[in-house]
Amino acid sequence: MSIGTQFQTLLSMSACGLLMGMGYDTYQVFKGKGRFPLWLVFFLDLLFWIASALFVFGVLVRVNDGVVRFPIFFGLFGGAWLYFVIGSRRYVQFLHTVIKFCQWLYRTIVMIIDTVLVRPVLFLYRLILMLLELVLSVVTAVLLFFWKIVRILIAPAQKWGHNVGRKMHQQGKGFWADVKKWIRSRKKQD
């Protein structure tokens, strides 16, 4: 392996160490915000370290065909150490700022959608319901008014109809009694 390849490998592994440090801080910030159960944290930690190892190995394969030597570990630990000494605190502050901005942006978008779409639709829905209730109450009042007028006009005829109905009922009883007698007399003749 040439000196140039070794130097390129050392720089690549230092960059991987730096990126692993950033990834670790990012993971810790989101893990702290999420408040996951302990059993899930175990699996998430395991997934993080497996993904980091696969990432480092992928870079190593591209840079020097996957040859593992001592300078590789030196580069990884050196990059991670450099990140944690110099940039970790600033990166975490930046990450918190980005998260707060994203939360603000989300709340703003939700508020705009609520103001522009949801509230006008709800207003129209309530307005239509109020108008329908108004029309229904007016129609009901008019129909009740006409029904009262019709009942007042029909009241005398209703009493007369009640008396006529009684008479017809009495006559109907007599008619059916005559029909029964006639049927019985026909049966006796046969």
Distance CA 120, CA 66 (A): 62
DSSP states along 109-127 = HHHHHIIIIIHHHHHHHHH
CA torsion 58-60-64-65 (nearest 10°) is -40
At 38 the pLDDT is 81
Residue 76 within a domain: yes
What domain range is 83 assigned to?
3-130
Domain assignment of residue 113, yes or no = yes
Task: Classify residue 145 by burial, with Cβ atoms within 10 Å: 0-12, 13-18, 19+.
Answer: exposed
Q: Could you tell me which residues come within 8 angstroms of residue 35 by beta carbon, excluding any fewer than 6 positions away?
A: none
Structural domain includes residue 42:
yes
Question: What are the respective helix, strand and coil percentages of the chain, to the nearest 5?
Answer: 95, 0, 5
Amino acid at 95: L
What pLDDT, on the 0 to 100 scale, is given for residue 93? 94
- Indicate the residue type of 139: V
89 domain-assigned: yes
d(CA 190, CA 46): 106
Q: What is the Cα–Cα distance from 3 to 9, expressed in whole angstroms?
A: 10
Say which DSSP state 36 is in: -
- Looking at the structure of the chain, the number of domains it has is 1
Q: Where are the alpha helices (DSSP H) in 65-87?
A: 70-82
What type of residue is 7? F
Query: Distance between CA atoms of 11 and 74, rounded to whole angstroms?
Result: 10
Confidence at residue 155, expressed as pLDDT on a 0 to 100 scale: 73
- Decide: 24 and 3 in contact? Cβ < 8 Å: no
pLDDT in tens, the chain (190 residues): 677 777 888 888 889 999 999 999 988 888 887 777 888 888 888 998 999 989 988 888 888 887 777 778 888 899 999 989 998 899 999 999 999 999 999 999 999 999 999 999 999 999 999 999 999 999 999 999 998 888 887 777 666 666 766 777 666 677 767 777 877 887 777 6
Q: Roughly what angle, to the nearest 10 degrees, separates helices 3-34 and 38-64?
A: 160
Q: Is residue 179 part of a domain?
A: no
Residue 143 falls inside a structural domain = no
Note the pLDDT of residue 185: 80
> Residue 100: inside a domain, yes or no?
yes
